Amino acid sequence: MKKTGAQILWESLVREGATCVFGYPGGAILPAYDAMLDFPIRHILVRHEQGATHMADGFARATGNVGVAMATSGPGATNMVTGIATAMMDSSPIVCITGQVGSKLIGSDAFQETDITGITLPITKHNYLVTRPDDVARAIREAFYVARSGRPGPVLVDVTKDAQQSSCEFEWPAEPTLTGYRPNHWPSKPEFERAAELIHAAKRPVILAGHGIVLSGATDVVRRFAERAHVPVAMTLLGLGGLAASHPLNLGMMGMHGEAWVNTAIQEADLLLAFGMRFDDRVTGNLKTYAPQARKIHIEIDPAEINKNVKVDVGLVGDLRDILEELLPYVGACDRTEWIDHISHLKGDSAVRDIQQLPDSGHLYAAHVIHDIWKATNGEAIVVTDVGQHQMWEAQYYHHEEPRSLITSGGLGTMGFALPAAIGAKVGRPDAEVWVIVGDGGFQMTMAELATIAQENIDLNVAIINNGFLGMVRQWQEFFYERRYAATPLVNPDFTRLAEAFGLKGARVRSRAEVVPTVQAAREHAGTVVIDFQVEQEDSVFPMVPAGADLHAMIRRPSAIVETGADV
Amino acid sequence: MNTFVVLVENLPGVLTRVASLFRRRGFNIESLTVGHTQTPGVSRMTIAVDTDELGARRVEANLYKLINVLRVDNVTSAPTVLRDLALIKVTATPETRAHVMQLVEVYRARVVDVSPSSLVVEITGTEEKIDSLIEVLRPYGVLEMARTGTIAMVRGGTTSTEGISTSNGATHTEHPTDDVSVSYSV
């Protein structure tokens, strides 16, 4: 039967399992929008195309399925760029569909024409320009396949207006066969044996668990592996939740704002087992002094990550879950109590210095707010964070027990990510309790999506950690630029009245005593509540490894906190 | 210097994808040539990159991440035939023409055009041989020059193109890194 390219587009999306699309219409995508009405698809009308991509991303991270975003040509497409780059850096499977001017107009600087396949070339896993209806089904099929297989990532499909309008015979293509695409690899037997040797020989091993443990569904086998080999596990930001925070072998987050003793353990280790992580500069600090005594085993699906930043002794390339299942029988039960006790000893006075020990002196600290949200939600919410100080405090004080319960922009560090990504997460998992934890700066970058929340009746809660500053930048200015606060103080709107203007509920919290009651009220309220937590203005995230410094050379929490209870 | 033979699908934008990869990963392309192969739909690139062994492995792994790249061979340490082609327009007056033609003879190059005041010389060979001819011609006055960049082929019976076809075709050879002999470990 003959169908238009637009009909084929939706037919293909439905066959690939898409149930919802985050998008914004416009001239070049109009034929597709017209055809949409005849298909079982929930469309969420965003307020900015960047929001559509973050929503698709949040949907993908919350569910593990491919998220879909749609926009028109030109500015619609270019507005997607930040969201696509965010998904690329964090290996999130999304498919972006953009309208393009008619194929005969391409290259003529037509109205709303832009070379979006050229623009997104370095920030997509792959992209397509489709100029004929006959190619639509295959492009969509391949796009989904490429997005979700191997190391996941964003794929963009640019469809010209005439390809949407004209008709052809529809035929659903067979499984994609992409000769040049090799998502799967498998190490050789000697490499498994070599890895097992190193594991057995190690006295002070540490597992470094990254986003890959979640993406490959390896969280269970990582836990069994860690227990059997008796190896403590340090997490990257995107790994959090992959191993329950309450698990006795879980050390918590490593890196720039990890606990000092976790980083010290890595520096003292004689073997690092890197599982689905890529030795980002935020977790290694100075590479020249990074884990100097450690042999390294890197298990990773992307061959290009092996030996990129850190030279490793064994690189096992392939799907993490399959490789760990294969490796597990090689590894005998071990007892490393001595090493684990030593790491506990490294904690020293960390607990005493912890900001949670700070008495309630009338100040409201962000860390306290996050701690109380964690308590009030029983640690069971999906938390979507933005980028900056609140993001690090969340990672430190919201203890995640389940994979896919923390959604945050790690690699690209995209401010404005949280609110739209949370909408995507809620749409993907409507039964989950979703909390946005966001700074006052980042919130204002994409707060127009409050209108999307209102229009689509999305029920989530927003905690604005409002310190009246671009807090992390202010912290760097305090530490490294002699407190010269260039362009970091913010004059903010009244966030409660803003929420009300969107038809949502607003609340304001100024003291610790109000935190839990307000959070509980928000949880009980049917509909989105925006809470403005007015916290201490010049608070800093500790501990901290200054950018490029040695991992063990941390700025620790000032012990003055404990002695005086004064401001940090 | 590392030399790669890269087989790619002959589709719009593939050259940009490859070139963009080198640019954004900070690898410097010394020379890049593209041409057809004996297989329809498959193009062959020879890429010379200034990098060390570890860098070369990363180049190879990153090239493989491009979906239109079918095969990558690092031929640097293999016995390889490397050839460049150059056209050189050199000043040759009736007085100097004989000298120039003698030099061309020595290099086993050819004169492909003659005018009252100049000659066009065609030479194929290694980069060094061509550089050397240019050096000896320079005193006469090199007016214009066009060079192709290096193409490479491994000597002997093995081929880089065995079993390669485009996505539409049926044949498919396993990627060399699926081979158990290839290790990512150092």
Domains, chain A, ordered by start = 2-169 (3.40.50.970), 189-346 (3.40.50.1220), 352-564 (3.40.50.970)
pLDDT at B183: 56
Q: How far is CA A146 from the centre of its chain?
A: 19
A369/A560: higher pLDDT:
A369
Instruction: Write the pLDDT tens digit of every residue in A70-103.
Output: 999 999 999 999 999 999 999 999 999 999 999 9
pLDDT at B168: 46
Residue type, B170: A
Architecture of domain B2-77: 2-Layer Sandwich (3.30)
**Residues of chain A contacting residue B167, judged by C-beta atoms under 8 Å apart:** 177-180
Architecture of domain B80-147: 2-Layer Sandwich (3.30)
Q: Give mean pLDDT, residues A193-219.
A: 97
Q: Give mean pLDDT, residues A557-565.
A: 56
Q: How far is A562 from A357, CA to CA, in rounded Å?
A: 7
Instruction: Write the pLDDT tens digit of every residue in A447-465.
Output: 999 999 999 999 999 999 9
Contact A180 B68 (CB under 8 A): yes
Contact A306 B184 (CB under 8 A): yes
Q: Quick one: tokens of A226?
A: 């860690």
Q: How far is A312 from A330, CA to CA, in rounded Å?
A: 20
Contact B184 A303 (CB under 8 A): yes
Contact B167 A302 (CB under 8 A): no
Q: Quick one: tokens of A380?
A: 């069971």
Residues of A designated catalytic:
49, 111-112, 161, 472
From the number of C-beta atoms within 10 Å of its C-beta (0-12, 13-18, 19+), residue A65 rates as: middle
Reply yes or no on whether the pLDDT at A411 is more than 60.
yes
Reply yes or no on whether the pLDDT at A487 is more than 80.
yes
What is the Rg, in whole angstroms, of the alpha carbon atoms belonging to chain B?
20
Longest pairwise C-alpha distance within chain A: 78
- Strand A2-4 and strand A167-169: pairing? antiparallel
A225/B184: higher pLDDT:
A225
A429/B181: higher pLDDT:
A429
**Residues of chain B contacting residue A117, judged by C-beta atoms under 8 Å apart:** 13
The reported pTM is 0.94
pLDDT at A362: 79
pLDDT band of A565, cuts 50, 70, 90: very low
A126 touches chain B (CB under 8 A): yes
- Strand A461-466 and strand A434-439: pairing? parallel
Domain locations in chain B as residue ranges: 2-77, 80-147
Q: Quick one: tokens of B77?
A: 């340490």
pLDDT at A431: 98
Instruction: Write the pLDDT tens digit of every residue in A340-392.
Output: 999 999 988 887 888 888 777 778 999 999 999 999 999 999 999 999 999 99
**Residues of chain A contacting residue B67, judged by C-beta atoms under 8 Å apart:** 125-126, 146, 178, 180-181
- Provide φ and ψ at A17, rounded to 5°: 95, 5
From the number of C-beta atoms within 10 Å of its C-beta (0-12, 13-18, 19+), residue A559 rates as: exposed
Q: Quick one: tokens of B78?
A: 């293999």
Contact A122 B20 (CB under 8 A): yes
Q: Give mean pLDDT, residues A190-204.
A: 96
Which residues have a Cβ under 8 Å from the Cβ of A113 and sit 6 or more positions away?
Answer: A73, A74, A100, A101, A105, A106
Q: Give mean pLDDT, residues A183-196.
A: 95
**Residues of chain A contacting residue B181, judged by C-beta atoms under 8 Å apart:** 188
For chain A, give the percent of residues with pLDDT over 90.
92
What is the pLDDT tens value at each position of chain B, 186 positions in all? 899 999 999 999 999 999 999 999 999 999 999 999 999 999 999 999 999 998 999 999 999 999 999 999 999 999 999 999 999 999 999 999 999 999 999 999 999 999 999 999 999 999 999 999 999 999 999 999 999 999 999 999 878 766 565 554 433 334 444 443 345 554
